[in-house]
Structure 1
């Protein structure tokens, strides 16, 4: 079964949705959309680092994404203006990454795969990494779920309950870096944030509890993944962007339902 590239792609999209659903819900609740974008943009710098040091691409991406996320979290806790900090770091990391990749001529023609993803090229090893990483993110979020919800609702309430908001922020930062590393090959650096935000935003219009929203985001992400692959196969469109197009359509439907 796994010899079929389309089956592997479908399993990869499904595995990624398991992680992006609940994590994306926290991104929406905490209004961290630009934070996720900055971490995703840093992924291209991670690709360059991996190529320069002969490291696996996923490891290089994870290291740089984690460094970016921790840096942003540290600066925000010191009172730096978040939108300005994220803007500077996100675009700087992307530019440095694109310049660094240009020193590797064999990679230039494949750069679009890192920017927009190449889910149809997912291998068995990639599939194992994606599912293993997704389950790790799920376990991390499940372990800290109640504390994360409390810290998201109110930092004062978290302090009163003996919860350290900065520690919970670090948990989200680590999970975000892991998801960026997992999603790079599927939807690419420019579309990772969309996969985090759009399914969660769509589920928000349908859910009445945080848990229902997280579960709804997983389901919508899976439908978007499979629907995007179907659209790509039908119209011969890029698979990564097609997944986001379907996710956007689902968001529009839930928004119309909420208005009605």
Structure 2
């Protein structure tokens, strides 16, 4: 089974949804779309550094994504105009990453794969890393679920209940950085935020509880992965963008389902 590249791609994509599904729900609830963009765009800089110093791409991406996520999280509580700050950080990180990548001769050819993903090139080792990272993120979110949910709904209520909103924000920051690191090869830096947001937004249209939305986002993500891979195989389109396009179609369908309901 693991000798079939299409099967490895499907398993990698489905494994990733166990992280992007529930995490995407919090991204939607907290309106953190730009936060995800800034972290994902910084991953390109991490890739360039990884090639420059000869270290694992996953390690370099995780380090830079975590640094960006912590920077954004620290600024969010200091009264800055966050939409402006996030816009500056997101585009600056992408620009510096592309400049650094252009200085790496061996990286120029493969840059589009890191930007838009190359899920069909996932190896057995990549598959293990994706599933391990996704399960760690899913476990972290399940462990901190009630605290994260309370802090998301009302920070004052969370403090009154003995929950530290900053600690919960840090947990989300760590989860987001790890998700970006393990998904960079599958959907690429430019499409990670879309995979986080669109399945969760689709699930939001039909779910009645937070838990149902998180599970629904996992299911929507899995359907998007299989649908996108099927479209890529039949129409010879790029796999990563096809997965996001399938998620977008699923979101439109969810809107009609909500209206019909």
* 1:77-125, Cα deviation, whole Å (9 max, x unpaired): 1111110110111111100000000011121111100000000000000
Residue pair 2:51, 2:107 contacting (<8 A) in 1 also: no
Corresponding position of 2:26: 26
What CA distance in whole angstroms lies between the structure 1 residues aligned with 2:183 and 2:195? 9
Mapping for residues 46-125 of structure 1, pairs under 5 Å: 46-125=46-125
- Structure 1, unmatched stretches of 5+, are none
How big is the shift at 1:6?
0.4
Conserved 8 A contact 2:39-2:68: yes
Which residue is 1:154 aligned to?
Answer: 154
How far apart, in 1, do the equivalents of 2:226 and 2:17 lie? 11
- 2 CA distance for matches of 1:77 and 1:156? 14
SS in 1 for 2:38: helix
| Offset of residue 10 of structure 1 | 0.4
| Cα distance between partner residues in 2 of 1:234 and 1:210 | 36
1:163-194 CA distance string (max 9 Å, x none): 01010000000000000011110100000000
Matched residues in 2 for 1:27 and 1:198: separation? 10
CA distance in 1, matches of 2:234, 2:247: 17
Give aligned pairs, total: 260
Q: Which residue of 2 aligns with 1:189?
A: 189
Query: Hey, what does 2:237 align to over in structure 1?
Result: 237
Name the SS for the 1:106 alignment partner.
coil
Root mean square deviation of aligned Cα: 0.6
* Deviating 4+ runs (over 3 angstroms): none
- d(CA) in 1 for partners of 2:6 and 2:186? 13
Counterpart-to-counterpart distance in 2, 1:37 and 1:72: 11
SS in 2 for 1:105: coil
TM-score of the superposition, structure 2-length normalised?
0.99
| Displacement after TM superposition at 1:64 (Å) | 0.4
Q: Distance in 2 between matches of 1:106 and 1:213?
A: 42
Q: Supply the distance in 1 between the matched residues of 2:256 and 2:39 (Cα, whole angstroms).
A: 31
Distance (Å, rounded) in 1 between the aligned partners of 2:235 and 2:182: 26
Listed one character per residue, the Cα deviations across residues 195-214 of structure 1 (whole Å, up to 9, x for unaligned) are 00000000000100000000
Partners of 1:162 and 1:79 lie apart in 2 by 24
Match for residue 143 of structure 1? 143
Structure 2 segments unaligned to the other structure (5+ residues): none
Deviation at 1:259, TM superposition (A): 2.4
